[in-house]
Amino acid sequence: MNIEPEIRCFRAFSVSLQIPLSRLLRETAVMRWVEQKTIPFSSVSGPVFFFRLSGDGIPAGTVLGFEFEPLLFHALLDRIQGGNGEIDENSVRPRPVTPLEKRLASRFLLLFQNAIRETWNLPEPFQFESLSAIDWDSERKFTVTEFQLDVGKLSGTIRLWRFASFRQKIQDFSDKEDSEQNIADSLAETPIHVAVQLSGEKITPRDLMKWRENDLIFLGRPQDFPFSVLIEGVEKFTASPGKFKSRKAFRIL
């Protein structure tokens, strides 16, 4: 069986993920197709998320799974939470993924699902149904496509598991990688979500847009409630009542 069309499909899949992942992680992300092989379900070795793909014309029992090398998975979660992605290898031990980790992982899993939508010519409507309980035979065979993901100093393997009795129709996507300039331009246009929580003071989006590095923002007299700045949902600064006496201000770094 000629698998070259499938290889082109998954190369296009990996390329289509580069800009969305770069935007999410705020670092140039390069994803490359490595190989395709058939292995048993027992070969799963890292955090994995399986979905049942359903829709008109899609055979019953079609399953997709996204598996992440453990160290890469936790580094991605750290980046999403505002960290630098540096994880102590000794701290990563085999264990079930927590509900919070699943919620965080959903941010990049959605990008993977969107990439499937873009590069596979599947009939609409169709949906991904998360499979929380899996009782497959450990020797059940899957077709696995392996990718290499590089994000700054981070590097690791992602595997796409497939169990299906059909072959994808391939959209006309180029498998040429996005240039560094294209990714950089996209990163420059990515909005940063900033939230300011302060009772008694009103800070408008226009105020946020005009601030620049090293600006010192004065907020007047201390209030009876704490002041917090959150960037990408992560609390970066909090001033409790009376913490800075009569001065309440913050600097843009």
Please give the full DSSP string across 58-121, using - where no structure is assigned. Answer: PPTT-EEEEEE-HHHHHHHHHHHTTS-----GGG----PPPHHHHHHHHHHHHHHHHHHHHHB-
- Note the pLDDT of residue 172: 42
pTM, entire model = 0.66
pLDDT tens for 7-32 read 788 888 888 888 888 888 888 888 89
pLDDT of the residue at 68: 95
Q: What pLDDT, on the 0 to 100 scale, is given for residue 156?
A: 93
Asked whether the predicted pLDDT for residue 239 surpasses 70, the reply is no
Taking all residues of the chain, what is their mean pLDDT, rounded to a whole number?
73
Give the integer Cα–Cα distance in Å for 240 and 227.
7
Query: What is the distance between the alpha carbons of residues 207 and 28, in angstroms, rounded to a whole number?
Result: 29
- Most confidently modeled range among 51-60, 97-106, 119-128: 97-106
More confident residue, 227 or 88: 88
**169: pLDDT confidence band, cut at 50, 70 and 90?**
very low
Higher pLDDT, 251 or 87: 87
pLDDT of residue 146: 94
Read off the pLDDT band of 148 (50, 70, 90). very high
Architecture in CATH of 4-188: 3-Layer(aba) Sandwich (3.40)
Q: Per the structure block, which two tokens stand in for 165?
A: 């009795």
CA-based nearest residue to 252, from 220, 213, 222: 213
Q: pLDDT tens digits, residue range 83-93? A: 777 887 777 78
- So where are the chain's domains? 4-188, 194-251
Answer yes or no: is pLDDT of 155 > 60: yes
Has residue 2 got a pLDDT over 70?
A: no
As a whole number, mean pLDDT of residues 194-220 equals: 57
Per-residue pLDDT band for 157 (boundaries 50, 70, 90) equals very high
What's the whole-number mean pLDDT along residues 216-223?
A: 55
Instruction: Count other Cβ atoms within 10 Å, centred on residue 25.
Output: 21
